[in-house]
Structure 1
Amino acid sequence: MNKISPLAFVHPEAKLGENNVIGPFCYIDRNTVIGDENILQNSVTLNYGTRLGSGNEIFPGASISTKPQDLKFKGEDTTCEIGNNNSIRENVTISRGTASRGITVVGSNNLLMENMHVAHDCILGSNLIIGNSTKFAGEVVVDDNAIISATVLAHQFCRVGSYVMIQGGSRFSQDIPPYIIAGREPIRYAGINVVGLRRRGFSNEMIELIHEAYRIIYSEGTREENIQKLRSTLKITPEIEYIIDFIQSSKRGIVR
């Protein structure tokens, strides 16, 4: 049975699972689908197009599936899909998609800290930690297991790789490749995320292999020349293949 405060509004067309807790002054719009065992503290808004999984906790002032802050948006029927077991803290805003992708996605087991923003058509993976007041512009992609510190600004269309650590207060308009630390001003490659990789179970041998890959990538030469050198000199594991694929598919280029 759901526990719904008498001071909350739930549209009669909203679809709710079981054992949800909906606090006072929450607003749940039509065309919303909610799974099981979610906790919506007071003053949470689930706007049109919300697709919320199970086991999430959403804190006061958060607004999910908000109308995109994009002047090209013409009211098309789009959604915002949130996975399971996320902690979405106070005043987080997540916009729904536009005609570009039609959907904004946030995966599972993420911590989205206070006052951060996820713009339209972003695709966020799982097991992310995203700091206070960080802002993602439209169509940003973040792969799994990244840590993005507070007050980071991400330009539209950028991609962040897995197991990345981004320094607080950074701004970036190019892609952040996987397994690295990115920081300083202006933002640049600042080494391998050794501590994070060890915490995630990467062996010393794998960390050294990744480190050697980036020594080659950031050496003199063009992107393609360095990738060819990497392929010819290193063991190509799935981790190294991921780095290569990430760099080759980058449309904005990677941070230097």
Structure 2
Amino acid sequence: GIQVHITLHHLDLPQILEDEYGGWLSPRIIEDFTAYADVCFREFGDRVATWTTVNQPNIGIVASYDIAIFPPARCSDPFGATKCTAGDSSVEPYIAAHNTLMAHASVVSLYRRKYQAMQKGVIGISIYSFWSYPWTNSTVDLDATRRCKDFYFGWILDPLVFGDYPQVMKKNVGSRLPPFTEVQSELIKGSLDFIGINHYYSLYVNGRPFKTGVRDYFADISVSTRGKYVFWIMILGLLLNCS
């Protein structure tokens, strides 16, 4: 009675694509990821009813391009968990996410146009989830909690539902956040049949002062999280999900 559910991409990318053009940092990945998905749909679609394009991009991208604990382990001082030799934590997470979203939308468009009517499957994306509660009922903490949800969930889901990033992201990240063209926005909006939720835990959130100068994803969110070893629980959850 087990139903097959295939995830097309989870964290690790073929090294040749990293070497050739930088993987998710290049829009060239969109064409290659779509071609790869086409092969999967063609070869396995008669036995697969459910497809996830990308698993947990909202946290995997941060781990790969900001704090550098996952491949390709890119970051820049002072943001990396280790000393990085390449990367820019201030902009690369947003570039990689943008290209990931466009690759997802391209794959969904392909599936709907070429395979869905015949194979009668569904296609979507899965996100990493923890629910957040305000540490206090202060306006600062209530705003921080909403901002946390917008950055972690809205970063991926708002474009898929509304065709654009959350307003708070556009405000806090500014020109480092790649814009969607009108054509891109129309392509990506509605490009899912389901939303996969990988839920791990809940935590408390409070606001912290917004930093000026060079910032990364976490500085842009400008929140503090409270919970017993919550950061390491997050990392452990990521590692367990990869094993």
Q: TM-score, normalised by structure 2?
A: 0.22
Q: Which structure has greater helix proportion?
A: 2
Bigger relative CO (Cα 8 Å, ≥ 6 apart): 2
Q: Which structure has greater strand proportion?
A: 1
User: Of the two, which has the highest radius of gyration?
Assistant: 1
